[in-house]
Chain A
Amino acid sequence: MKKVLKTYPDKCIACHVCESACANLYFRIDDPERSCIRITETAKLPEMNVCNQCETCVAACPTLALTITPQGVVMVTKKLCIGCYMCVAICPTGSMQTYHGGMHPFKCIACGVCTKSCPVEAIRIVQE
């Protein structure tokens, strides 16, 4: 069973509260560039980008800084990461994130803080 964040764009109202919650938890800053979940407003439904824990990045990491928890969540071990961004490039969903001035990539670890903040239940933690 894999723990993932599941998105429901048809429910999303693009309030960006989830981004704030994530950035605040991760970086103690209210900056959408520091959020693991990214909401992009479009003419149709909002695009909700979040890691689906597919593990593609794990094979690319030269220092084994990317590992998988027993729940199937891909984690970045900062101590081992040398900031090469190969994982960012290889991520098929564009969900391995970077930010201006950052040294390491970061990603959703399915912690669920965003789900608690979402007013319309457009994000949920599920076991796949």
Chain B
Amino acid sequence: MRNRKFSRFAPPLATASVLVLALSACSGGSSGGSGSTSGGDAASNVDGRGPITYVQGKDNSDVVRPLVDKWNAAHADQKVTFKEQSDSADQQHDDLVQHFQAKDANYDVMSVDVVWTAEFAAKGWLQPLKDKTALDTSTFLPATVKAATYNNTLFAAPVSSDGGLLYYRKDLVPTPPKTWDEMMGMCSIAKTNNMGCYAGQFQKYEGLTVNAAEAMNTFGGKIVDDSGKATVNSSESKTGLGKLVEAFKNGNIPPEAITFKEEDSRTAFQDGKLLFLRNWPYVYNLASKTDGSSKVADKFGIAPLPGMSGPGASSLGGHSAAISVYSKNKATALDFLKFLTSDEEQKFFATQGSLAPVIGNLYKDSALTAKLPYLPTLLTSIQNAVPRPVTPFYPGVTKAIQDNSYSALKGEKSVDQALTDMQSALVAAGAK
């Protein structure tokens, strides 16, 4: 009886304590917090040599292991251990964040997606590649260096690049379109063949940011300027995004493309349901397969993305390798970066893993282009590529782009309104 008052509340409290688990799961792992300003010391251990660990996502095409073996054979006292993460980009990101927060000295070199570099650099987790740890970038493609640079400092070594390509049906369109309007003019061919004309990736996810940014950059728009200020609400961006919206409206982009990610759009093209497709180079090998999985194996060609008057501006993909400030053996780590970006290893990346090299000259290497015929076209794409906004607030920035361009594509918002909202959302996200 004495606990009467309490016992009335006991059942909800007991239920609550179970729920608390859910809450604690939500917030777990975040102690140590975001943004300790000091971080590790960029000046320490720069001469340190010894064994290091290289961290990267799942090594699906078996490129990293042979490279690491090769390195280890030559550097017995500075061995590299390869730590493989999952193959989900989000999980790789979160794994890196957790190890950085724990100031883990065991993650010496890690593979960083181009859109993460600024965030990690601003948190003070990446070793700036200057002074004693400087890296010569003169042979690299400029866009890849730009994507690895934050606050006028290089924070990572570009290792693999990526750019969008236009896949087209050469049996139906003998010469690929050079401009967007030219391409839209060819859509009557698609109609007579009872197929969709053009598609990219328009589901609301990172791929939409890529596609929307390409449309806006191609027509001269800029999402953020060089100082990181939001400048998306311009007449150029309006034209670019407007072109996509218009194509959705008049059916040149089939309505189902609003649900497309990379793989859905690739399948649609391979099944002969699309005349033009914007996608990454990985599609080339899969669409060329003659085992019956592709109905267009010998009927398609590749071209640079169509632009306003010449090639369009692709969004830049790819990965860089960065050194952790907490690493104890930064000299070895730097040597390993140089090793990863050397001509020979870059060639191996290209032939073994179909990863686009970051060194311009390799695109003219005849042995490489024989194996990877898309390389010259890809070079045009990367030379005209614009990195997605290099900002530590990237998650908020990409959300602002996705949400508002998605509404515009679906016709829920005018292009004007979408860009006004996108601008305010970018500012709210931190791109002031």
A is bound by B: no
B residues bordering A, Cβ < 8 Å? none
A residues bordering B, Cβ < 8 Å? none
